[in-house]
Chains A and B, each alone.
Chain A
């Protein structure tokens, strides 16, 4: 794969062809998926993109700034409920999405600062438990704020949330374009794709920016970073706010896509899964995070075919697939981590940290040489 990539880098024409192929593939992805795997996989594809956004958001906090956050799902919940409450019959409000999504980002960002502020002095596992607690506090409040005033409708959740619609084009309905059927999962796919690409773009720009380098410095050594004149407080808060705002946007999209939100969707396991995506894929590396999101979203769904697979292999279902599914998933987590401890696609910095010395030296020489050329 590396050979292909370096070849691509060398030849500009090949690169453009690769881009063209990529654009083509991404635009036809839902059609290909439906043809190859069935319509339910288009919905899974949408969730893959949604989790990519979430994972990229958390990557800013955990991967870039090195702050272990186990309550990320709280921001997702804030975004989702904001959208749900202001665009559903619950309060009779139906605000448009172009107002609600930025609002979701803003308010989730504020919550990010709210979480960040008291935890600035905490490190590692202490930070993990506080963020975990913060996520749980948000869920508990969402679950219980139906009395004395009914704000969130409590455990019953908010139903009949408006789908996203632009100029009368509702993403929620079935559409006919050029004689092709466009169910809502298709419309949402393109919307999610655009936003995911935007978030990928922002992530890349952030990584190499002044702020990105400040985050890396804090991650590696907070005391040294402070000594170098980095305002660790502001920079850390910014990481929380940025990560949270991505979560808020994803939450709003989730609410519009599902049409129903309830506190059950925002439990601790969800946070843990998003963290798993990052660590499994390769913390701090955008490609890795994307791969992690794809794998961990599709794997549990793919494992549903364990039943038919057994039928195919042995002629009957020997072990109940529902019993096997999560077992295999857990085993996969362990095995991947043991064989790729830095993640499937580790970031270059981490790779260097982990490799034995002579190789590091050789690689560093190579990079120096590269940059001179």
Chain B
């Protein structure tokens, strides 16, 4: 028995050692990379100090397209600053993006958060989802590193009392209020049906809309549910059709919203379709095709084309990374805010520029950005859009 124990423990040890050595080599390579920068940018890097900024989003799995979009937004902002040249504290600064994949998994989120902290990032743009932003926020808070999420909407994220957790996106309560009131006051919805995708995002938003709509005197006649993997909604739509609502609100993302609107037409369900920022994207229009015509969805901030620099951003972004999926402008803004705070504080030390960041007012391409005492975006304008002739057009 003792021998068996020794064998198994020894082999465990062996395995651990093996793993450790293998990685050790690789790691020493990674730590050596900054000191031997690629030859392309050698002339800048020779004099510049390297400051690392992290970006975390799912780069594999069902939301990989959104994750890549966020990363590209951050990358574009960083490239622009590097091209223009930034001097902070008397030194030339070269920003370096460290991008990690959290696979929408809370456990992986904490691992990559720790990894970024280890590698000495001064700020993190991310994560994409609330479910990953929340567990990671504790690690950034312990390390005193600011975390700006471009897209997490759960109220809890900024409610934990962490000074480092912020977002440039309106939270569920802010957006749900606008959507609920729009459904009742503008769309004149007396009977409202609500579907959510049982994710932290979809459920949070849908509950808020239900609450606001009921408070405004409308009746929630059906509350149905789906998942963020489903493509077939005929059953719940049929059940909803039986209640003949005027408005159907969906809390979820575009891979579900697109097929859902097609199936509504297939069934002859005539309710006005309404959604949140998760479906206000070009792909929804493509997937839904003609059936998407007349659908409403909200998006935080102001329309890009009305903002100074907004059109220019979308042109440059599209040329470089392809179509904007969804949150790239917010990731871009979040990065800009972070770097502007460093410039204003004249320091790249998180402890020094974090207080500046908390009180900064910045005019971004998605709207004016300033944080309240919790880290939520102040004011938090929400714009409603409508699909007209195959494109999202802001509702005046």
- Residues of A whose CB lies within 8 Å of any CB of B are 1, 5, 8-9, 15, 18-19, 22, 25-26, 29, 32-33, 36-41, 43-44, 47-48, 52, 143-144, 146, 154-157, 159-160, 174, 185, 197, 200-201, 204-205, 208, 254, 258-262, 264-265, 286-287, 290-291, 294-295, 298, 301-302, 304-305, 308-309, 311-312, 315-316, 320, 322-323, 325-326, 345
Contact = CB atoms under 8 A, between A and B. Distances in A.
A260 B225 CA distance: 24
17 contacts: A15-B6, A33-B20, A36-B24, A37-B24, A39-B118, A47-B111, A154-B198, A155-B202, A200-B5, A200-B9, A204-B1, A205-B1, A208-B1, A260-B135, A264-B131, A291-B11, A322-B99
B106 A159 contact: no
A315 B40 CA distance: 9
B29 A312 contact: yes
B119 interface: yes
What 8 pairs between A and B have smallest CB-CB spacing? A322-B59, A308-B30, A40-B115, A287-B11, A40-B114, A287-B8, A260-B135, A38-B118
| Residues of B in contact with A, size category | 35 or more
Given A5-B7, A38-B115, A259-B138, A159 B19 contact: no
Contact of B135 (A22, A146, A258): A258
Given A47-B111, A265-B106, 17 more contacts: A22-B13, A33-B20, A38-B119, A39-B118, A155-B202, A155-B203, A156-B204, A200-B9, A204-B5, A264-B104, A287-B8, A290-B8, A304-B101, A304-B115, A311-B38, A322-B59, A323-B60
Given A22-B9, A160-B160, A291-B11, A37 B27 contact: yes
Given A305-B30, A311-B33, A155 B20 contact: no
A1 B23 contact: no
Contacts of A29: 16
Interface of B: 1, 3-17, 19-20, 22-24, 26-27, 29-30, 32-33, 38-40, 59-60, 99-101, 104-107, 110-112, 114-115, 117-119, 130-131, 134-135, 138, 142, 154, 156, 160, 198-200, 202-204, 225
Contacts of A265: 105-107
Nearest to B12: A290
Contacts of B203: 146, 154-156
Contact of A316 (B38, B101, B114): B38
Contacts of B11: 287, 290-291, 345
Nearest to A267: B105
Nearest to A200: B8
B271 to A, nearest CB: 23
Secondary structure of the A contact surface, majority rule: helix
A175 to B, nearest CB: 13
Residue in B3, B8, B26 whose Cβ sees the most chain A Cβ within 10 Å:
B8
Contacts of B134: 157, 159, 260
Contacts, number: 174
A8 B10 CA distance: 11
B105 A264 contact: yes
Contacts of A315: 38-39
Contacts of B100: 304
Nearest to B156: A159
B135 A39 contact: no
Contacts of B38: 311, 315-316
Contacts of B107: 47, 254, 258, 265
Contacts of B32: 312
A305 B118 contact: no
Contacts of A322: 59-60, 99, 101
Contacts of B156: 156, 159
Contact of B5 (A201, A262, A309, A311): A201
B15 A290 contact: yes
A40 B121 CA distance: 13
Given A264-B106, A295-B19, A322-B59, A38 B27 contact: yes
A279 to B, nearest CB: 16
B90 to A, nearest CB: 29
Nearest to B23: A302
A266 to B, nearest CB: 10
Nearest to B101: A322
Contacts of B104: 264
Contacts of A309: 26, 29-30
A47 B14 CA distance: 18
